[in-house]
Amino acid sequence: MSEIAKDQGAVGDWISEKIFMGMSLSAYFRKLITPFNVIALLILAVGIPLIVQRYIHGLGYVTHGSQNQPFSLFLGWGLFTGVPLAATGFIMASAVYLFGMKEYKSLVRPAVLTGFVGYFFAVTFLLIDLGRPWRLPYPMVHSFGPGSVLFLVAWHVALYLSVQFLEFSPAILEWLEAKRIRKWALAITIGATIFGVILSTLHQSALGALFLLAPGKLHPLWYSPYIPVLFFVSAIYAGLSMVIIESTLVYRFMKDKVDPKNFKTIDDLTIGLGKAASLVLITYFCLKLIGVAHGNHWHLLNSSWGFWFLLEIFGFVLVPCFFFIAGVRKRNVALVKFTAFIAVFGIVFNRIMVSLVASSWSLQHAEFLHGKELLVVVTVVTVEILAYRWIVNRMPVHREHPAFPGGGH
Amino acid sequence: MKINRRGLIKSVFAAGGSAALARPGKAAAGVEHFTGNPDRYGCLTDLTRCVGCRSCEAACNEANGLPKPEVPFDDDSVFEHERRTSEKAYTVVNRYDNVRTDAKPVFRKIQCNHCNEPSCASACLVNAYTKTPEGAVLWNKDLCLGCRMCMLACPFYIPTFEYDKPVPKIQKCNMCHDRTSQGKMPACVEACPMEAIAFGKRSELIKLARERIEKEPDRYIDHIYGEHEVGGTSWMYISGVPFERVGFDEHLGVVPFPQYTRGFLSAVPLVLVIWPALLGGFYLFSERREELDDREKSGKPGERA
Amino acid sequence: MNMEGILRDIACGILVLLALLAFAFIVYQGGAAAQEGDASAEAALTGPEIAVIGSLSNLYEPVTFSHRYHTTMAGECAGCHHHSDPGVYMKCGDCHGAPFDPQNMNMPGLKGAYHLQCMNCHKEMAAGPVGCTECHAKKPGKE
């Protein structure tokens, strides 16, 4: 064979191995036809044209964003909910590398990947929501508004995305089999982890601090000077719960991409995560009560808004806390897994309340759900899941790469 | 792969140092008593004079080149429901029932209040708002990303966003800054036939308002709205009926809104400095414990604890 | 000649005299009043019958102001020509110029003075035009 033909053959082999996982094109495409993929394709077929329309006609095409209520689901879900749910990275990395809990090592990479994908798509939602998304780099390079909490969020999300990418890069480099760069990438892990925790502390709380500027607009039961702390603490148990959920789903639906050794330890690890989450949940519950006490808003609990607040802190914080404790005590892994879903739902509930619902409580005419908005959100989440799956299928996330035993650390 | 102590300290400093440098934040200046430019202009709207003729709306529309509205300016039917500013109307007049005399409804003009310490300016992450020395708060179209944080921050619900444009702008009253810098009055002030809006230095207007209230105490409520609310605004109001009854929010307090985030922002440098040491410490402790465990297991004589 | 007849004549004569005196008195009073009315009518006659106020017209046509009608209604001058010595009747624009003079913030400018003066009285009397186009039509092309 000529040199050129050999090179072409090499490239073709590389693509076949890395992208199509060693299958022939036809075999690959046949494997793609699953119920989940078909539904996903339908969603994308509806959603992607909508997104294109949003750029042609303006934001009003897909949201009910009004002059009185500037934020919609794109920020309510994409940014305010997506970011705490992507807190998995800094939590697991600090648990393993800073606090020395080496037994959780098998969960670090998936957690970092969840974090990276989560933040990446939070930025995607931002690009959809911003009036002039091409100006996204402005607060980074062009004009600073350092008195703004949002400025802090912008910088930290950008930096944290880079840090998560760097933390995940060993997995990518193992996939690409680039030995020397990988060594360098591993060396910065501790520094990156510490940096990541600093950034996370600040921007998780900053997302809450944004609402400090709206004292009259956010309902007093949710508004408190402690919002930054509340957001940060809840992000911690959000991350822990998401790690449980992620491992549950992957170990169930993508068994062949998981290292067989991990199946033996995952139950213990899940119990351990449940234990940690229960501690954080009870702390958060007490902090919420302190928030109400601080403003002396006890009388507000006796109202329709008070009902939703009590539902949130009892039904979605205290109840999962008790379920976690019960699951840990009785070694009931299924209960712990189930409770993780409740806890995450509680996070979604809280963030949507703060960013959309309770922040328009004084408006006579408040709307926060538009059909097209929901479609776009579902579309982007579908892309997110597909991207995550694509990466887990190919890269050594839940398993070790045969050329790099030990996973690197 | 174990990292020795030196390597750890190097990487922590690199992380912490770049963190500190990466955020060009400044510690809260802690300005306790803001005076601003003493010569800044303001406007005083006397609600006892406004007759709801909407000449101000028409003048604003023309001066800013805004599209003509569907309902013309001399049509009274717009008063049937309470309106707010929009991307095509920087100012609107609303009608309210008079709680003192049924005969004469009260009209109230809404527009940007050009706060002394604007919440919108503090919220903007690219510094697209400026409080000018003339008093007007201006928005810069060359910087805005369209994040709409200013809309959340404004206690008066003023900034409007062009949701229907692919390249949207924030629209709001700019106190006719180009006119006032040439020594002219804002368009709405000039148009008002009843001189319901007085224009001049903010300090003079406060004196004028007090004078009017003193001269006719039965005619006015003894309060200048905007003198102290949210730290003071350039656009102020005096009224013959309680302000709450004409659409004003009387629960805003006197604290300028940027103060509310100062606490959080001043905690940021603390985290940037303390966290590296704290977390680095955790790392060192856990490594040390592992090292001791290893030595114990392998039976080697360990360092003294 | 009988006494009755003479007394009757005298009584009639006195009655007629009294009637004449009364008539004269009434006529005199009426005349005096008429003379006063004539005097004020004379003063009103010295003011313009109508005044066209158009120095500021930009969006609207000039106002055709019925001065005579208003003086009759008011019965006196100082109600409108205020803040001046008695007998001195200045035009509005003699005092009211540009608004918002920092030395005298409470003095309205000319346009404000016109509208405040006219409309406040119309509202108080519950009579008289208060709508924009009731006094002056919109200029064509100034919609």
Q: Please give the pLDDT value at position C28.
A: 66
Question: A63 contacts in B (CB within 8 Å)?
Answer: 163
The answer to whether B204 contacts C143, with C-beta atoms less than 8 Å apart, is: no
Task: Tell me what the mean pLDDT of segment B37-66 comes to.
Answer: 93
Query: Chain C contact for B207, CB < 8 A?
Result: yes
Residue in A with minimal Cα distance to B161: A67
Domain count, chain C: 2
Query: Chain B contact for C123, CB < 8 A?
Result: yes
Residue A207's nearest CA partner among A158, A152, A155, A138 is A152
Same domain, B289 and B251: no
Residue B280's nearest CA partner among B1, B27, B17 is B17
pLDDT at C72 over 50: yes
Same domain, C4 and C38: yes
The answer to whether B124 contacts A145, with C-beta atoms less than 8 Å apart, is: yes
DSSP helix/strand/coil, B92: strand
| Higher pLDDT, residue C142 or B134 | B134
The one-character DSSP state at A79 is I
- Contact of A97 with A193, CB cutoff 8 Å: yes
Same domain, C93 and C128: yes
Mode of pairing for the β-strands spanning B235-238 and B41-46: parallel
Q: Please give the pLDDT value at position B29.
A: 41
Burial of residue C43 (number of CB atoms within 10 Å: 0-12, 13-18, 19+): middle
Half-sphere exposure of A387 (CA within 13 A, CB side): 16
Specify the range with the lowest mean pLDDT, choosing from A42-56, A271-285, C34-48, C103-117.
C34-48
Domain count, chain B: 2
Same domain, B87 and B233: yes
Question: pLDDT confidence of B18, banded at 50, 70, 90?
Answer: very low
| B-C Cβ pairs (cutoff 8 Å, strict) | 48
Same domain, C79 and C57: yes
Same domain, C62 and C18: no
Residue C99's nearest CA partner among B57, B44, B115, B210 is B44
d(CA A2, CA C14): 158
Same domain, B141 and B172: yes
Same domain, C114 and C131: yes
Task: Tell me what the mean pLDDT of segment B94-101 comes to.
Answer: 88
C28 within domain boundaries:
yes
Query: Chain B contact for C102, CB < 8 A?
Result: yes
B294 within domain boundaries:
yes
CB atoms within 10 A of CB A113: 24
Same domain, B15 and B48: no
Burial of residue A281 (number of CB atoms within 10 Å: 0-12, 13-18, 19+): buried
Same domain, B273 and B243: no
C140 within domain boundaries:
no
Q: Three-state secondary structure along A387-399?
A: HHHHHHHHCCCCC
Same domain, C122 and C106: yes
For residue B3, give the amino acid letter: I
d(CA A217, CA A231): 18
The one-character DSSP state at A44 is H
pLDDT at B17 over 90: no
The answer to whether B200 contacts C105, with C-beta atoms less than 8 Å apart, is: yes
Distance between alpha carbon A331 and the CA centroid of its chain, in Å? 27
B303 within domain boundaries:
no
Helix, strand, coil content of chain B in percent (nearest 5): 35, 15, 50
- Contact of A171 with A113, CB cutoff 8 Å: yes
pLDDT at C132 over 70: yes
Q: Spell out the residues 6+ positions from residue A313 whose beta carbon is closer than 8 angstroms to its own.
A: A285, A288, A289
Report the sign of the C-alpha dihedral through residues A12, A17, A23, A29, in that order.
negative
Same domain, B113 and B228: yes
CATH code: domain of residue C52? 3.90.10.10
Same domain, C42 and C58: no
C107 within domain boundaries:
yes
- Contact of A71 with B152, CB cutoff 8 Å: yes
Task: Tell me what the mean pLDDT of segment B251-270 comes to.
Answer: 93
Task: Tell me what the mean pLDDT of segment B153-168 comes to.
Answer: 94
Contact: chain B with chain C (3+ CB pairs below 8 Å): yes
DSSP helix/strand/coil, C97: coil
Mode of pairing for the β-strands spanning B129-131 and B137-139: antiparallel
Query: Chain C contact for B184, CB < 8 A?
Result: no
**Interfacial B residues in 115-134 facing A (CB < 8 Å):** 119, 121-128
| Higher pLDDT, residue A269 or C91 | A269
Chains adjacent to B (≥3 CB pairs closer than 8 angstroms): A, C
pLDDT at B33 over 70: no
Residue B90's nearest CA partner among B219, B7, B187 is B187
Question: B25 contacts in A (CB within 8 Å)?
Answer: 146, 152
Beta bridge partners of B46: B238
- Contact of A58 with B162, CB cutoff 8 Å: yes
Q: Please give the pLDDT value at position B302.
A: 52
Could you list the residue range(s) of the whole structural domain that residue C21 is in?
A: 1-46
Percent above pLDDT 70 for chain B: 87
Beta bridge partners of B42: B200
Same domain, B223 and B154: yes
Q: Give exposure, B270-287, as e/b (b: 16+ Cβ within 10 Å).
A: ebbeebbeebbebbeebb
Q: Spell out the residues 6+ positions from residue A45 whose beta carbon is closer than 8 angstroms to its own.
A: none
Chains adjacent to C (≥3 CB pairs closer than 8 angstroms): B
Same domain, B24 and B113: no
Angle at CA of residue C110, ends C106 and C116, nearest 5°: 65
Q: Please give the pLDDT value at position A65.
A: 62
Task: Kindly report, residue by residue over B174-188, the tens digit of the pLDDT.
Answer: 999 999 989 899 999
Give every residue of chain A whose pLDDT is below 50, as ranges.
409
C82 within domain boundaries:
yes
Same domain, C19 and C82: no
pTM: 0.86
Could you list the residue range(s) of the whole structural domain that residue B279 is in?
A: 5-29+260-298
Measure CB to CB from residue A55 to each of B143, B155, B166 and give the nearest one: B166
Dihedrals φ, ψ of C118, to 5°?
Answer: -65, -55
Same domain, B194 and B236: yes
Task: Tell me what the mean pLDDT of segment B141-154 comes to.
Answer: 94
CB atoms within 10 A of CB B131: 20
Same domain, B21 and B163: no
Best B21, B152, B266 residue to mutate vs chain A (most A CBs within 10 Å): B152
DSSP helix/strand/coil, B301: coil
Question: B274 contacts in A (CB within 8 Å)?
Answer: none
Query: Chain C contact for B201, CB < 8 A?
Result: yes
C21 within domain boundaries:
yes
Same domain, C118 and C55: yes
pLDDT at C98 over 70: yes
Query: Chain A contact for B266, CB < 8 A?
Result: no
Same domain, C80 and C29: no
The answer to whether B146 contacts A130, with C-beta atoms less than 8 Å apart, is: yes
CATH code: domain of residue B70? 3.30.70.20
Task: Tell me what the mean pLDDT of segment C108-127 comes to.
Answer: 88
Question: pLDDT confidence of C46, banded at 50, 70, 90?
Answer: low
B76 within domain boundaries:
yes
Residue B52's nearest CA partner among B156, B194, B174 is B194
Measure CB to CB from residue B260 to each of A202, A213, A359 and give the nearest one: A213
Same domain, C19 and C39: yes
Q: Please give the pLDDT value at position B99.
A: 83
C10 within domain boundaries:
yes
Same domain, C66 and C89: yes
- Contact of A270 with A244, CB cutoff 8 Å: yes
In order of start, what are the domains of chain A with their CATH numbers?
38-67 (no CATH), 68-362 (1.20.1630.10)
Distance between alpha carbon A287 and the CA centroid of its chain, in Å? 23
Same domain, B240 and B264: no
Best C100, C117, C119, C133 residue to mutate vs chain B (most B CBs within 10 Å): C100
- Contact of B217 with B226, CB cutoff 8 Å: no
Specify the range with the lowest mean pLDDT, choosing from B2-16, B105-119, C124-138.
B2-16
Same domain, B132 and B57: yes
| Start-to-end CA span in chain B (Å) | 24
For residue A85, give the amino acid letter: L
C142 within domain boundaries:
no
Measure CB to CB from residue B195 to each of C112, C132, C133 and give the nearest one: C112
B163 within domain boundaries:
yes
Distance between alpha carbon B49 and the CA centroid of its chain, in Å? 28
- Contact of A304 with A343, CB cutoff 8 Å: no
Q: Please give the pLDDT value at position B301.
A: 60
